[in-house]
Amino acid sequence: MFTLRRLAIALPTLFIIATASFFLMRAAPGGPFDAEADLEPAVLENIRAAYDLDKPLLEQYWIYLTNALSGDFGPSLVYKDFGVNELIAIGLPISAKLGLLAMIVALLLGGLCGIIAALRQNGIIDHIIMALAMTGIAIPSFVTAPILVLFFGLYLKLLPVAGWNDGAPANMVLPIIALALPQIAIIARLMRGGMLEVLQSNFVRTARAKGLRESHVILRHVMQTAAIPLVGYLGPALAGIMTGSLVIELIFNLPGVGRYFVQGALNRDYPLVMGVVVIYGALIIALNLLSDLAYAALDPRVRRGYR
């Protein structure tokens, strides 16, 4: 019931996202062919006609909507050798793979750091971990990524400097680290916060009073509850990290979809932007749903609220 209700809301949400971004995109000043030199007015007219851009806005919207429903986002106005579907079909798996792996690394390392910091609250280890985490959050990836490249790529010559190389593992290591670093920091802080709150609660004291082994208390009772804030964060974060990052893609020269959000918008490549926005919207809705389901599984109160 809970799942069905959430699914029923998802589709109209996606429709609203698509509609709003279509009209916002068209309302932005400038057009897709602004940056092309040498165009005679008649040539420009021919080009606009070829992409249906000479039609009234509502008709364009209708064309877009009917095509999108049949799963076709149309041709890219800038990358003329590819359809938007193709660009996303090539780029999204790459971004998703890197994002997912980065998130796994971040969960393992960040979760571990958070737990250790919480168990050592206000100790030296806690302070060190939290200081590192703050640094991790504060330093942007356009600083860390080039440093990683300089050190591991140019100085130690251990790993390739950039490029995708058809997904060779060596080419993925540095981008994954660069993507994971800020996530490790955020996850460590969330995990630590959740743990500290739960460690003080009555049921933990009861569990300890009953003489349960500490590892049992932590694993069975504390961690499950402490992970709840983290689960809420993971849904949108995963959607974000899986749809790529412009900065990481530019620095590592990766063919992901992250760049299409920014450059598509700057180039006024309407179909491309609409394509990535809808995909991102769908992903974020799906992952939020998943994270809510996980929530419900971890916390019975959420489940009951919907009954």
Q: Nearer Cβ to other proteins, position 59 or 214?
A: 214
Q: Which of 148, 207, 234, 249 binds other proteins (CB under 8 A)?
A: 249
Q: Residues 175 to 194: which contact other proteins by CB under 8 A?
A: none
Applying the rule CB under 8 A, the residues between 10 and 69 that interact with other proteins are 29-31, 34-43, 46-47, 49-51
Could you give the CA distance from residue 129 to residue 112 in angstroms, rounded to a whole number? 11
Residues 281-300 that bind other proteins (CB under 8 A): none
Applying CB under 8 A, which part among 75-83, 131-139, 181-189, 272-280 lies near other proteins? Answer: 75-83
Q: Which two tokens mark 103?
A: 């998130």
The reply to whether 162 sits near other proteins by the rule CB under 8 A is: yes
Our finding on whether 173 is near other proteins (CB under 8 A) is yes
Is residue 119 part of the contact set for other proteins (CB under 8 A)? Answer: yes
When binding is defined by CB under 8 A, the residue of 20, 69, 147, 219 that contacts other proteins is 219
Interaction between residue 211 and other proteins (CB under 8 A): no
Distance CA 31, CA 53 (A): 10
Residues within window 89-108 making contact with other proteins, judged by CB under 8 A: 90-91, 101, 104-105, 108
C-alpha 113: how far from chain center: 22
Assess 146 for contact with other proteins (CB under 8 A). Answer: yes
Residue type at 286 in one-letter notation: A
In the complex, what is the shortest distance from the CB of residue 254 to other proteins, in angstroms, rounded to a whole number? 7
Question: Which residue, 111 or 288, has its beta carbon nearer to other proteins?
Answer: 111
Choice from 18, 68, 84, 87 touching other proteins (CB under 8 A): 87
Residue 153 interacting with other proteins (CB under 8 A) = yes
Binder of other proteins out of 69, 170, 305, 306 (CB under 8 A): 170
Does residue 164 touch other proteins according to CB under 8 A? yes
Query: Which of the residues 257 through 276 are near other proteins (CB under 8 A)?
Result: 259, 266-268
Instruction: Give the nearer residue to other proteins in terms of CB position, either 19 or 46.
Output: 46
- Supply the minimum distance, in Å, between the C-beta of residue 147 and other proteins: 12
| DSSP string covering the chain | -HHHHHHHHHHHHHHHHHHHHHHHHHHSSS-TTTT-TT--HHHHHHHHHHTTTTS-HHHHHHHHHHHHHTT---B-SSSTTSBHHHHHHHHHHHHHHHHHHHHHHHHHHHHHHHHHHHHTTTSHHHHHHHHHHHHHHHS-HHHHHHHHIIIIIIIS--S-SS--GGG-HHHHHHHHHHHHHHHHHHHHHHHHHHHHHHHTSHHHHHHHHTT--HHHIIIIIIHHHHTHHHHHHHHHHHHHHHT--HHHHHHTT---SHHHHHHHHHTT-HHHHHHHHHHHHHHHHHHHHHHHHHHHHH-HHHHHHT-
Q: Which is nearer to other proteins, 111 or 235 (CB)?
A: 111
